[in-house]
């Protein structure tokens, strides 16, 4: 029989042995490398009893069209067992353009809900009391404005700010390297980010002021090792910036959360989550002197959008199930499962329901949540956890030696590394060294000819959104709007915390475009360098 000459590698090019034995863990020490759940270095989880005490939050990412349409989807998901809201905003909202701006044409409500003014936020949460839900907002360049709207809405609902619970992504660094919805240059953008940190410390004790995102880094083509390394390197910068702004590491550390991808290599992903948790604990304790509680790596997971295929879309249900299962076995605190039709369009209600049911079946039928870290001690899992941690640490050390995350962004180092990995992966797919079922193997002719019914955002909603914006601008107190925008402009020059004047602007019903224009006038706009 011919010897198998195939290479067995993980996504991070970690060689996989044929067999793993205790010899692969010769230097393994239980107390040092594992410990107990809820105890440093948290390899086995950040809670003592993990899901026996409380299941992960089932937080389905949703948003499309107008605020009214998205409000209906929110209520639908809550009625079907979702335990937290996660808002997707459209592209104009993410990059600071009003829906009536020429550059917004064709994009209003397409990739998420369109928010122009506080009026839209009022409609978005109509009938949903903010003290009864945990809300996650995936927003970065305009994060201060959307958080200001959320705060203003809570005030209108007479809800004390200390009861607001949720997370705002507010991770601007990864926008320059993986996602692209930046507006301002990196350094003034970091000022907005740290202003949110300070505002949250003073006013929002239950709200996480940042979710450091590795998800988009992975979606852009990074390996599992790069996802850990670049995410934690960015996290180091945010912690240091918060300390520089006068926030105690133990105040800030408790409110830092992370957002990771759950990709297709099942066992590597489980090990990745465990490695990230252990490495972050070491960084916080050894570098920043943080307490154990402030060293916990708390993270949200989303299944990998880039693995979804337009071909044989029903196969995506299986992909998502395996990815969701790996994130649960890896100890996630909250989870979004993608819908099977997302490679084609925004998810339909039926597809969104199946995605939510996937989580519920794992939670209530599979038994994997009945004990803490059930794969701990497995020779391969522990060996792979060690390899991933060591690989990520090498990257982090190199980044820190050269000036940190801001250097890695401005020099293009991050971008080059991700582009290289994405290129190598695509070559493997095209050469069929990497098999994608239904794409480069096991295709069916009937599938390519079948016309798919997809969910579409109506053009009528765009017209309604523009009409509502016009009405708000006509009815609001124009003198109050001007005064608030002038006040914001003056505060930029004095380097004060901009959250407070931004809140005044949104309460006067200034639009997101108007507020961003004031900031652009002072800081300019960032132009991405072409990385070769």
217-220, Cβ contacts within 8 angstroms, sequence gap of 24 or more: 217/174, 217/177, 217/178, 217/261, 217/414, 217/418, 218/260, 218/261, 218/263, 218/304, 218/306, 219/178, 219/261, 219/304, 219/305, 219/306, 220/177, 220/178, 220/179, 220/418, 220/422
- The tens-digit pLDDT sequence of the chain (532 residues) is 344 556 899 999 999 999 999 999 988 888 888 999 999 999 999 999 999 999 999 887 888 889 999 999 899 888 888 778 889 999 999 999 999 999 999 999 988 999 999 999 999 999 998 998 899 999 999 999 999 999 999 999 999 999 999 999 999 999 999 999 999 999 999 999 999 999 999 999 999 999 999 999 999 999 999 999 999 999 999 999 999 989 999 999 999 999 999 999 999 999 999 999 999 999 999 999 999 999 999 999 999 999 999 999 999 999 999 999 999 999 999 999 999 999 988 788 899 899 999 999 999 999 999 999 999 999 999 999 999 999 999 999 999 999 999 999 999 999 999 999 999 999 999 999 999 999 999 998 765 555 456 666 667 778 999 999 999 999 999 999 999 999 999 999 888 999 999 999 999 999 999 999 999 999 999 987 765 5
The closest of 298, 296, 301, 295 to 269, measured between CA atoms, is 301
| Predicted TM-score (pTM) above 0.75 | yes
CA atoms of 307 and 264, how far apart (whole Å): 7
Contact of 22 with 236, CB cutoff 8 Å: no
CA atoms of 284 and 236, how far apart (whole Å): 8
Between the alpha carbon of residue 142 and those of residues 71, 239, 351, the distances in Å are 21, 21, 30
Contact of 145 with 515, CB cutoff 8 Å: yes
Between the alpha carbon of residue 114 and those of residues 353, 402, 503, the distances in Å are 23, 40, 19
Contact of 254 with 210, CB cutoff 8 Å: no
Cis peptide before 460 (omega within 30 of 0): no
Contact of 295 with 280, CB cutoff 8 Å: yes
Contact of 299 with 260, CB cutoff 8 Å: yes
CA atoms of 138 and 332, how far apart (whole Å): 18
Question: DSSP characters for 260-307?
Answer: EEE-S-HHHHHHHHHHHHHHHHHIIIIIH---TGGG---EEEEE-GGG
Strand spans (E) along 33-160: 57-58, 61-62, 85-88, 134-138
Which tokens is 89 given?
Answer: 């905003």
By 3-state DSSP, what share of the chain in percent is helix, strand and coil, each rounded to 5?
A: 55, 10, 40
List, in order, residues 6 or more apart from 22 with CB less than 8 Å away.
379
CA atoms of 489 and 240, how far apart (whole Å): 27
* CA end-to-end span of the chain: 46
CA atoms of 166 and 125, how far apart (whole Å): 14
The closest of 128, 59, 53, 62 to 89, measured between CA atoms, is 62
C-alpha torsion sign, points 317, 322, 325, 330: negative
Q: What is the CA radius of gyration of the chain?
A: 23
Per-residue confidence (pLDDT) for residue 530, from 0 to 100: 61
Per-residue confidence (pLDDT) for residue 347, from 0 to 100: 85
CA atoms of 67 and 115, how far apart (whole Å): 7
List, in order, residues 6 or more apart from 453 with CB less than 8 Å away.
none
The closest of 275, 264, 194 to 229, measured between CA atoms, is 275
C-alpha torsion sign, points 242, 246, 247, 250: positive
Sheet holding 207-208, edge to edge: 61-62, 85-88, 134-138, 165-168, 207-208
Helix (H, G, I), strand (E, B) or coil at 26: coil
Per-residue confidence (pLDDT) for residue 450, from 0 to 100: 54
Using the 8-state DSSP alphabet, how is residue 453 labeled? Answer: P
Question: DSSP characters for 344-380?
Answer: TSBPPHHHHHHHHHHHHHHHHHS-TTSSSSTTTT-HH
């Amino acid at each position: 029989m011919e010897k198998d000459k195939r290479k067995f590698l993980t996504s991070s090019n970690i060689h996989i042995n044929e067999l793993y034995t205790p010899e692969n863990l010769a230097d393994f020490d239980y107390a040092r490398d594992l410990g107990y759940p809820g105890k440093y270095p948290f390899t086995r989880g950040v809670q003592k009893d993990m899901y026996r005490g409380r299941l992960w939050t089932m937080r389905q990412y949703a948003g499309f069209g107008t605020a009214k349409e998205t409000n209906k989807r929110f209520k639908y998901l809550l009625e079907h067992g979702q335990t937290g809201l996660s808002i997707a905003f459209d592209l104009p909202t993410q990059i600071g353009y009003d829906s009536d701006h020429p550059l917004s044409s064709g994009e209003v409500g397409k990739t998420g809900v369109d928010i122009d003014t506080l009026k839209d936020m009022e409609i978005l949460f109509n009938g949903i009391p903010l003290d009864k839900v945990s809300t996650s907002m995936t927003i970065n360049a305009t994060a201060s404005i959307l958080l200001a709207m959320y705060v203003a809405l809570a005030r209108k609902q007479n809800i004390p700010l200390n009861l607001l619970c949720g997370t705002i992504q507010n991770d601007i660094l990864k926008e320059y390297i993986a996602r692209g919805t930046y507006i301002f240059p990196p350094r003034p953008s970091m000022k907005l980010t740290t202003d949110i940190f300070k505002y949250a410390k003073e006013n929002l004790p239950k709200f996480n002021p940042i979710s450091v995102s590795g998800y988009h880094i992975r979606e852009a083509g990074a390996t599992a090792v790069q996802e850990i390394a670049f995410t934690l390197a960015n996290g180091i910068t945010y912690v240091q910036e918060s300390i520089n702004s006068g926030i105690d590491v133990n105040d800030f550390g408790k409110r830092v959360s992370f957002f990771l991808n759950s990709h297709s290599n099942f066992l590597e992903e489980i090990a990745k989550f465990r490695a990230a948790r252990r490495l972050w604990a070491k960084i916080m304790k050894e570098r920043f002197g943080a307490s154990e509680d402030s060293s916990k790596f708390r993270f949200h997971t989303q299944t990998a959008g880039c693995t979804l295929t337009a071909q044989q879309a029903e196969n995506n249900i299986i992909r998502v199930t395996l990815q969701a299962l790996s994130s649960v076995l890896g100890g996630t605190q909250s989870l979004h499962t993608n819908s099977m039709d997302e490679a084609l369009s925004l998810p339909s209600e039926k597809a969104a329901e199946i995605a939510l049911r996937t989580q519920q079946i794992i939670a209530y039928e599979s038994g994997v949540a009945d004990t803490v870290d059930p794969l701990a001690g497995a020779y391969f899992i522990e060996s792979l956890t060690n390899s991933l941690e060591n690989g990520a640490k090498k990257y982090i050390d190199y980044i820190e030696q050269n000036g940190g995350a801001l250097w890695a962004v401005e020099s293009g180092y991050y971008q080059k590394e991700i582009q290289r990995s994405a290129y190598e992966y695509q070559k493997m797919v095209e050469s069929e060294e990497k098999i994608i079922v239904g794409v480069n193997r096991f295709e069916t002719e009937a599938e390519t000819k079948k016309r798919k019914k997809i969910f579409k955002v109506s053009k009528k909603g765009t017209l309604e959104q523009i009409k509502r914006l016009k009405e708000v601008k006509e009815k609001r107190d124009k003198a109050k709007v001007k005064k608030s925008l002038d006040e914001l402009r003056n505060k930029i020059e004095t380097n004060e915390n901009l959250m407070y004047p931004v809140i005044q602007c949104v309460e006067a019903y200034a639009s997101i475009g108007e507020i961003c224009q004031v900031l652009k006038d002072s800081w300019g706009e960032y132009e991405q360098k072409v990385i070769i």
